[in-house]
Amino acid sequence: MEIKLNNHFLDVKETYLFSDIAKRVKKFQEENPDREIIRMGIGDVTLPLPASVTSAMENAVKEMASKETFHGYPPEYGYDFLRDAIAAHYKEIGAPAITSNVIYVSDGAKSDLGNLPDILGDNPVIIPDPVYPVYVDSNLMNGRKVSFVAGNKENDFLPLPPADTNIEPSVIYICSPNNPTGAVYSYEGLTAWVNFAIKTGSLIIFDAAYEAFITEDKPHTIYEIPGADTCAIEISSFSKFAGFTGVRCGWTVVPDGLEAGGIKLSKFWARRQATKFNGVSYVTQKGAAASLSGQGLEDCKANIAYYKRNAAALAEVFTQKGIYFTGGVNSPYIWLKCPDNMGGWEFFDSILNRFGIVGTPGEGFGENGAGYFRLTAFGSYENTLKACEFFKTL
């Protein structure tokens, strides 16, 4: 063929971090078929969906079996009953100004994070490092120029904005609680980023997928910060909160106050979704709505508490060992400094071969991840305790 391709895809690493991990684990299993594997790598939930949520989905399936209650194509922006439930959630966490009309339901946070560059022009992009790979890759695929602000031990992996505000308006990505580091911005830290965005005419894309894990007095949403509704899009998900990693549902908030060149960003996002997205199934949205109220909410909180107990057990071990880490309190992730000055991949091989434990090398999350390692608390409590006993021998 003689067609032209989008050669910006060549700017992205040929292999995906978790694909590399899967290959190494597969090789280990083939060579050690009798060894137990404790998986603490990919941030995938392991508890089943609560019965209260699946019951709502079962009832929705029954509705689909009747002519009178059948539902065809869903609205590309989401059913009103779910948008209203999400708006009520924002009211509960301190952002009552977020109303249902600015909420767009989707098939997950990762999709929206990858699709938002569709509506944005050729802006510089600022991303904290270490970072969730989709922020970087989706922009490289679109030919954007990406620069990084360093997260490190000195700032507890919570970098603040550059001191120089005489910069070109940019698109800024922030994740709090952070994936991979588990660090969470304070009100002061997040306010600094909002003020920076306002002063420079920039847009913040705020990833709040792990908001449900916040225990301490930290912002659950960027819209708790004054002025954020004029400079920030927020993305969140039912994946970790309600266990929807295998069901797929999330949402994006695009406030009416976001405007550039006399055009509301919500106009472009709504048009993008109407053109390229056919909506989330009625059955899925019924389950999502059930997770936000009544028994469903209580059941989802119980699952979150289960994972947080795992994280606390890991955090206790590394605290006792004097190993530096972030996360483990307001997050399902532990981000630890590899012992003995090991690199992340060296530590990966070490604990896989010694203990059968799978984690994620920090190098996969950027330059500042070198020498660090991410563990997740999404496994069983029993396996987490086994891992803790192994880690005590480091």
The pLDDT tens digits for 312-358 are 999 999 999 999 999 999 999 999 999 999 999 999 999 999 999 99
Structure tokens that stand for 293 in this block? 């109220």
Question: Per-residue pLDDT for 116 more than 90?
Answer: yes
| Same fold across 7-49+301-391 and 51-294 | no
Half-sphere exposure of 284 (CA within 13 A, CB side): 22
Say which CATH architecture domain 7-49+301-391 belongs to: Alpha-Beta Complex (3.90)
Of 46, 20, 269, 233, which Cα lies nearest the Cα of 135? 233
pLDDT digits (tens, 9 = 90+) for 159-213: 999 988 899 999 999 999 999 999 999 999 999 999 999 999 999 999 999 999 9
pLDDT at 19: 84
How far lies 353's CA from each of 35, 73, 288, 348, 359, in Å? 10, 50, 40, 9, 12
Long-range pairs for 379-386 at CB < 8 Å and ≥24 separation? 379/38, 379/39, 379/40, 379/46, 379/310, 380/46, 381/306, 381/309, 381/310, 381/313, 383/38, 383/39, 384/40, 384/310, 384/313, 384/314, 385/313, 386/38
pLDDT at 20: 87
Rounded to whole angstroms, the Cα distance separating 357 from 80 reads 44
Name the residue type at position 378. Answer: F
pLDDT at 184: 98
Rounded to whole angstroms, the Cα distance separating 198 from 194 reads 6
Other C-beta atoms lying within 10 Å of the C-beta of residue 137 = 18
Rounded to whole angstroms, the Cα distance separating 88 from 101 reads 12
Burial classification of residue 322, based on how many CB atoms lie within 10 Å of its CB (0-12 exposed, 13-18 middle, 19 or more buried): exposed
Phi and psi torsions of 174, nearest 5°: -135, 135
Question: Per-residue pLDDT for 15 more than 80?
Answer: no
Other C-beta atoms lying within 10 Å of the C-beta of residue 42 = 16
Rounded to whole angstroms, the Cα distance separating 192 from 200 reads 12
Q: Where are the domains of the chain?
A: 7-49+301-391, 51-294
Structure tokens that stand for 321 in this block? 């060992």
pLDDT at 137: 94
CATH number of 51-294: 3.40.640.10
209 contacts 239 by C-beta, under 8 angstroms: yes
pLDDT, mean over the chain: 96
Question: Per-residue pLDDT for 106 more than 90?
Answer: yes
343 contacts 352 by C-beta, under 8 angstroms: no
Contacts of 243 (CB under 8 A, 6+ apart): 45, 47, 48, 49, 50, 53, 300, 303
Question: Per-residue pLDDT for 14 more than 80?
Answer: no
Q: Give buried/exposed letters for 85-101 (b at 16+ CB in 10 A, else e).
A: bbbebbeebebeebebe
Q: From start to end of 37-112, where are the E strands?
A: 38-39, 103-106
Burial classification of residue 17, based on how many CB atoms lie within 10 Å of its CB (0-12 exposed, 13-18 middle, 19 or more buried): middle
Helix ranges (H only) for 116-226 are 133-140, 187-200
Query: With pLDDT > 90 as the criterion, what percentage of the chain qualifies?
Result: 95
Question: Per-residue pLDDT for 135 more than 90?
Answer: yes
What is the 8-class DSSP label of residue 117? Answer: G
pLDDT band at 282 (very low <50, low <70, confident <90, very high): very high
Contacts of 242 (CB under 8 A, 6+ apart): 49, 50, 53, 287, 288, 291, 296, 300
Q: In what order do the strands lie in the sheet with 360-361?
A: 325-327, 333-337, 372-376, 360-361
pLDDT digits (tens, 9 = 90+) for 230-252: 999 999 999 999 999 999 999 99
pLDDT band at 40 (very low <50, low <70, confident <90, very high): very high
**Alpha-carbon dihedral 45, 374, 148, 273, rounded to 10 degrees:** -10
Rounded to whole angstroms, the Cα distance separating 314 from 312 reads 5
Of 94, 336, 321, which Cα lies nearest the Cα of 222? 94
What is the 8-class DSSP label of residue 159? Answer: P
Question: Per-residue pLDDT for 16 more than 80?
Answer: no
Residue pointed to by tokens 């600022």:
126
Could you give the angle at which helices 344-355 and 381-391 cross, rounded to 10 degrees? 110
